[in-house]
Chains A and B, each alone.
Chain A
Amino acid sequence: DAGITQSPRHKVTETGTPVTLRCHQTENHRYMYWYRQDPGHGLRLIHYSYGVKDTDKGEVSDGYSVSRSKTEDFLLTLESATSSQTSVYFCAISGGGVTGELFFGEGSRLTVL
Chain B
Amino acid sequence: QKEVEQDPGPLSVPEGAIVSLNCTYSNSAFQYFMWYRQYSRKGPELLMYTYSSGNKEDGRFTAQVDKSSKYISLFIRDSQPSDSATYLCAILTGGGNKLTFGTGTQLKVEL
Question: Measuring CB to CB, which residues of chain A are less than 8 angstroms from any residue of chain B?
Answer: 4, 31, 33, 35, 40-45, 48, 50, 58-59, 90, 92, 94, 96-107
For A42, list chain B residues within 8 Å (CB).
Answer: 6, 88, 101-104
Residues of B close to A31: CB separation below 8 A: 96-97
Size bracket of the B interface: 20 to 34
CA distance A111 to B41 in the complex (A): 15
In the bound assembly, the distance between CA atoms of A31 and B42 in angstroms comes to: 21
What residues make up the interface of B, taking CB atoms closer than 8 Å to A?
6, 8, 32-34, 41-46, 49, 88, 90, 92, 96-104
* Interface SS majority for chain B: strand
- The reply to whether B49 and A101 form a contact with Cβ atoms under 8 Å apart is yes
Closest to A92 in B: B43
Is A96 within 8 A of B44, CB to CB? no
A40→B46 contact, CB < 8 A:
no
Q: State how many angstroms separate the Cβ of B72 from the closest Cβ of chain A.
A: 12
